[in-house]
Amino acid sequence: MTALAADRRLTNSANTTERGRVGKAGGSVVIYKGAALCWNTSGYLVPAANTAGYKFAGWAEKAVDTTGIADGVSDVPFRTSCSIKMKNDGTNAVAQANLGGPVWIQDDQTVRGTPGSGVVCGIAEQIESDGEVLVFGAPEVDDLVELITIAYDHVAVTADTTVKLYKVPAGKKLRLIGADYINPTGLAQDGTNYFTVKVLKDATVMASWSTLTGAEGTIAADTFVALTNSATDADLVAAAAAIIALFLDETATASLPAGRIVIRGVLLPA
């Protein structure tokens, strides 16, 4: 699904918790009536998007166009703590198994069943006959989802090395959003002497980067690269008690200089 290009009708179920609010709009944005809204990283309301650092606010009660207007000049009335139908993302769809748990923002009219950049919209209550998703949305729902970051500085290694980093707590499951790797000296791609940096849940590869020629390739000096997440969605979810580890896979004779891995995920109720 794509973001809104016109106002839409808000379809909701009866909900006595619904609240009306007014917030300040960000500058140079077009907010359509019915659009899902987020607080951006500066604390202004903008059309909801799958953007790191955004926080879901609610749904716009009227259209607001701040083209050429500075942050905070225009007000946006919006509703929150209510159940609203949202489009279902075609690539990362909300499925029956997601009901009763969190779903995430894809754009200002669409939710997704996987975290993306981790912007929680609310709790999926029902998949409607038209395929849309009834979502109870409120900023407080974000408290059910704990964003976690695991950072680790590894020493130089001359052989395959596994470092256990994290154990998923009881009653929780961890969903990987992504992992980034940096090596201050850089790593060249090579067909013989190469390295593979992997994030594992027990023995399963969640994400990886290889400097093998023809794979992901070179890592520039002092520059973060995003590991490639597994294409199998189940590989990205670690159950309670699973061990998250860094595996440095060394092939041939080269030594791997010291580097850093940063792993980003969300802890959800199991």
Q: For 180-226, what is each residue's pLDDT tens digit?
A: 999 999 999 999 999 999 999 999 999 999 999 999 999 999 999 99
Q: Which of 97, 119, 143 is the last residue of a domain?
A: 143
Same domain for 218 and 96: no
Q: For 163-177, what is each residue's pLDDT tens digit?
A: 999 999 999 899 898
16 pLDDT above the threshold of 70: no
Same domain for 214 and 134: no
Same domain for 160 and 132: no
- The count of domains in the chain is 2
Q: For 77-127, what is each residue's pLDDT tens digit?
A: 999 999 999 999 999 999 998 888 899 999 999 999 988 898 999 999 999
In a domain, 7, yes or no: no
pLDDT at residue 142, as a whole number:
78
pLDDT at residue 15, as a whole number:
54
Q: Which of 143, 166, 201 is the last residue of a domain?
A: 143
Range of the domain at 93: 12-143
Same domain for 158 and 110: no
Same domain for 16 and 109: yes
What is the band of 12 on the pLDDT scale with cuts at 50, 70, 90? low
* 9 vs 54, residue with greater confidence: 54
pLDDT above 70: percentage of residues in the chain: 97
Provide CB contacts within 8 A for 177, sequence distance 6+. Answer: 115, 116, 117, 118, 264, 265, 266
Same domain for 195 and 261: yes
Identity of residue 146: E
CA distances from 5 to 26, 32, 45 (A): 18, 7, 17
